[in-house]
Each structure stands twice: as structure tokens, then as C-alpha cells.
Amino acid sequence: MTHILRAHFARYPQMTPQDAVKLLYQSAFGPGHLIRDEGYARARLAEELAQTPPCDGELLEDIGGGYARLHLGAAKAQGLSEAAVYARFSRAAAAPCPGKAAFEGAIACLEALAAQGEAPFSAAQLAEYLTAYRAEGCPMVSHSETYRAAYRPAYRVVLL
């Protein structure tokens, strides 16, 4: 996880503690929580694909736990169909996930990197965020507004 976090810190220097926790949550729990309503999940994917321009970036980005973010712009540029993207996404949602212990271990790794000054945010900022996050029961979170504005994320979590 250290290698993955460092790669994401380098690629996304405006990442906040919230975005790092989202990454770790996805690597531990996968996308299963997103397909409770298959019709909605399919419609949301179609909408997001329609709004995402093709790009020449990498298709898959390793997030740990056997998962990757499949970037929709790259999928469009490579000619992947909506059905193919959804199939990969739904397979990942149905697969067993690493779970809570993996998530807690990844959080500890994140805290260590922040303490060493390797994160794009301070250890104090992370500690403040984690205190509030844990008080809320460690829910799934969305990307921060900062991250969204800087990187315009459009992806689905799939098996690597």
C-alpha cells in the first residue's frame, strides 16, 4: 500500500485526506456498495460516459486490494463499450473484498507516510480528518471538491 499511496500522491498532488481515505476505502471494500440498484448503476455509468471526453491516459490505475480505477475517458478512447465497462464493474462488485482489517492497515500506512512528510497534506490535517471520520463510523466518502476541480475524476472500480 505504501507504493500505491506514493504513486497517487505524486500523480495527484492536490489530494486531501478525504481523497486518500476514499482510495483506501475502495481498495479494501471495492465497489459493491455502488450496485445496490442495478438500473441506477447502469444509468449513472451511461450518463458519466456521455459527459466524459475521450483521453489518451492510462486505462487502469492500481489502487491496491486487487482493484483498479478504470478511467472512463481512456475507455472511450480505446473503444470499450458501456456494456464492457459495466461488466468489469459488476464483476468487481460481486467479488469478495479485503475488508475492514485491510482498511485499518492501510489507514495506519497512510498515517505513517503523513508523519514522514510524504503526503500532500500534513500529519495534523490527516489526524483532524480521521478523528471526525472515525466519529462518523468510517463511511464511504466522495472525492473532495479540491480533487474534483483539479482532476475531474471519472472512473469505475474494477478488478485488476
pLDDT digits (tens, 9 = 90+) for 45-100: 999 999 999 999 999 999 999 999 999 999 999 999 999 999 999 999 999 999 99
pLDDT at 28 over 70: yes
Please report, for the chain, the start and end positions of each structural domain, with discontinuous segments joined by +.
2-159
Per-residue pLDDT, 38: 85
Mean pLDDT of all residues belonging to the chain: 96
Nearest to 18 by CA among 150, 104, 126: 126
* Close Cβ partners of 156 (under 8 Å, ≥ 6 residues apart): 31, 45, 69, 70, 72, 85, 86, 88, 89
Per-residue pLDDT, 55: 95
CA–CA distance, 62 with 139 (Å, rounded to integer): 22
CA–CA distance, 87 with 53 (Å, rounded to integer): 21
Task: Give the number of other Cβ atoms within 10 Å of residue 118's Cβ.
Answer: 14
Per-residue pLDDT, 150: 98
Per-residue pLDDT, 72: 98
Per-residue pLDDT, 29: 95
Of 35-49, 87-101, 120-134, the one with minimum mean pLDDT is 35-49
Per-residue pLDDT, 33: 65
Q: Which residue has the cell 500505491?
A: 4
* Close Cβ partners of 50 (under 8 Å, ≥ 6 residues apart): none
Per-residue pLDDT, 36: 74
What's the average model confidence in pLDDT over 30-44? 83
What's the average model confidence in pLDDT over 106-124? 98
- Residue 34 pLDDT grade (very low, low, confident, very high; cuts 50, 70, 90): low
